[in-house]
Amino acid sequence: MARTLLVSPGQPGAFATISDAVASAGPDTVVSVAPGEYPETVRLEQLQRVTVSARDPGTVTLTSPDPDLPTVAIVDSEVTLVGLVVTATEQPAIHVRGGRVRIDRCRATTHHTAAVEILDGAVAELGDTEISQGRYGLVVHDADAVVTRCQVRDVADDGVIVRLGAHAVLQDCLVTGCGFRGVYLYQAGGSRLERCEVSQTGDAGIAVADQTSPTISACYVHDTAGPGVVVGRGCGGLVEDCRWENTASPSIQLADGARTTVRTGDPARAGRGTTSTAGSGHTDEAEVARLLTQLDSMIGLAGVKAEVRAVIDEIQVNEWRRSEGLSVGAVSHHLVFTGAPGTGKTTVARIYGQLLKALGVLPSGAFQEVSRRDLVGQYIGHTAEKTASAFDAARGGVLFIDEAYTLSRAAGGSSADFGQEAIDTLVKLMEDHRDEVAVIVAGYTGEMQQFLDANPGLASRFAKTIEFENYTPEQLVEITRHLATADDYLLDPDLDLALQEWFHQVDLTDDNFGNAREARKLLERMRKAQASRLRRLGRRPDRDDLRTLTLDDLLAAVGSET
């Protein structure tokens, strides 16, 4: 059984830093990191089967305080990174030398070098990861890598470099916004690019050089300053079923002496990477069942669960009808979630995206959460650009817009607000690319109606509105107990009635009431009260003391709020 070490600064019994936890890690250890910012360099050297995972993907940010060191360095180790945001400046965000590594649902950025580099015999798997900024995006040097459903964007030079004895497979990836080439392969053997999208490059989309013989299959290359593919002298391989749009001429440039086979085949097969226009069409029944069980395990939300199941049932039946050659009407996967904060809207949206992936409707199920500041710009034209960029980043998965009603409000009461421009841009994108992204907008019930009225075509873009009701006091007690258990705490049995009484006294209809967030805030105050109580014991507390929250802790927590 895997051993779990918790990193949570300020929490009794937890490690204060990721490096401290890693230093104590043995084989088959999971380092679970609480949300927050961690200004540290993490070195994982000669470790076996160690996982460093954000408790909630995307909520843990690592930044190296030393610009001369990589933020995360993995040397001759077997390591998995899950859900981390890793930033650097002068050095790579993630540096791998030897060993085996899996990077899953992470984000990596730097400024002056490669954001992620895989070197010296390492074997790496990257999945659903975003790599951005830096001079280069991903560098694979004398190593093997399988890169699936990843995005490399907004880099100064080459987006992906595979070189000098390396072998890489890129599948369903997006490479865009590169100052030079999108993908550069040299001395990279029989590397493969499958169903990838490469766009907005300062030179060639894909460049092949120095005895490399790749397979480039079903890729979509567009909007490049240079040709779509450039192949150097002596290189071989195969280019098949690819599609080119708005590239320099010729779309495929073969040097004298190149041995590459080009097959036009069916360009309709060309992929769009993480922006694929459709899912696999194949239903993973086991995964659908698992996700529905996960949905059912959420506390309360009976009406929400029924509504989501109805949507899934309709999608499944439509797929059965399509397989039998029966007509199927156009179906929107966009949803409106209404209700107060803390009622599980974000969690349900994530599960919904994964369900669409499991049903073969969307290729990745990736989750992109944005708010007004991510969509609205500061000058004419900037908002449309930002909104389109956010939409593009979510292709293949879910774009979740929290507090969407703020887009229909003029900032500071000004009539010259750009929120309306964001709404108008979304309306067009949702229609033009309705099979590529599921857009979910969320917010207070009353305000969301105002949002839907902001554009005549907006409401019709959504399949349905799902109302998230406030939790009952009994459900809030259950949530509190669940949160405590997840953090390795126990609640005294006599706390149930006291907690119910407390939540009954709270005005659950108040717009400012945060539901599950209030339960977490109350739990945090109880933990602080417990810490003060244990410090006054006059002895070292035992394990039960450290885990147990009592009625005295609740009373102290409630008293500290009033």
Q: For residue 170, give the nearest of 187, 147, 188, 149 by alpha carbon.
A: 147
User: Distance (Å, rounded) from C-alpha 117 to C-alpha 134?
Assistant: 12
Burial of residue 323 (CB within 10 Å: 0-12, 13-18, 19+) is exposed
Q: For residue 82, give the nearest of 47, 62, 106 by alpha carbon.
A: 106
Q: How confident is the model at residue 275 (pLDDT cuts 50, 70, 90)?
A: very low
Record the pTM.
0.52
Q: For residue 64, give the nearest of 35, 34, 83, 43 by alpha carbon.
A: 43
pLDDT at 45 > cutoff 80? yes
Cβ contact 556:530 at 8 Å: no
∠ CA 512-513-519, nearest 5°, is: 145
Average pLDDT over residues 364-373: 82
Average pLDDT over residues 500-526: 74
Burial of residue 129 (CB within 10 Å: 0-12, 13-18, 19+) is buried
pLDDT at 497 > cutoff 70? yes
Q: What is the pLDDT of residues 422-451, one digit of tens each?
A: 888 888 888 777 777 889 998 888 888 888
**Buried b vs exposed e over 449-479: b needs ≥16 C-beta within 10 Å?**
eebbebbeebeebbeebbebbbbebebbbbb
Burial of residue 543 (CB within 10 Å: 0-12, 13-18, 19+) is exposed
Residue 201 is encoded by which pair of tokens?
A: 């490059």
Residue 472 is encoded by which pair of tokens?
A: 């009952």
Q: What is the pLDDT of residues 411-429, one digit of tens each?
A: 444 444 677 888 888 888 8
Residue 282, pLDDT score: 66
Domains and CATH numbers, the chain: 1-156 (2.160.20.10), 285-468 (3.40.50.300), 473-561 (1.10.8.60)
Q: For residue 443, give the nearest of 431, 434, 429, 454 by alpha carbon.
A: 454
**Buried b vs exposed e over 355-367: b needs ≥16 C-beta within 10 Å?**
bbbbbbbbbbbbb
